Amino acid sequence: MSDDHEGGPGGYNGPWLWTAYRAYNELLREKLKKKFDAQEGPWMDSVADVLVQIVNARWEGGRQKEREQEELFEKLEKLLSQ
């Protein structure tokens, strides 16, 4: 037997086995993403909204926007502490 057929489960360590492992992990990742989205999605949407507002306020700049940024950071801190 060549080295490609040694060392893995059942003595096989070829490309199909690694493809299967990758597929398994990708499927698990997708399932986890769906669960997190169902449980945490609304909260994450709120966090994302505040982060977009912070970035927009920074781009617009100015002293008036500094206070708005402070308020947005306070809002973000409150969301992150939930």
Could you please report the per-residue DSSP string of 14-47? -HHHHHHHHHHHHHHHHHHHHHHHHHHHHHHHHH
Pairwise CA distance, residues 70 & 66, whole Å: 6
Half-sphere exposure of 20 (CA within 13 A, CB side): 8
Cβ–Cβ contacts within 10 Å for residue 15, how many? 8
> What is the pTM (predicted TM-score) of this model?
0.56
User: What are 16-73's pLDDT values in tens digits?
Assistant: 888 999 999 999 999 999 999 999 999 999 999 999 988 888 877 766 677 788 888 8
In the chain, where are the structural domains located?
A: 3-80
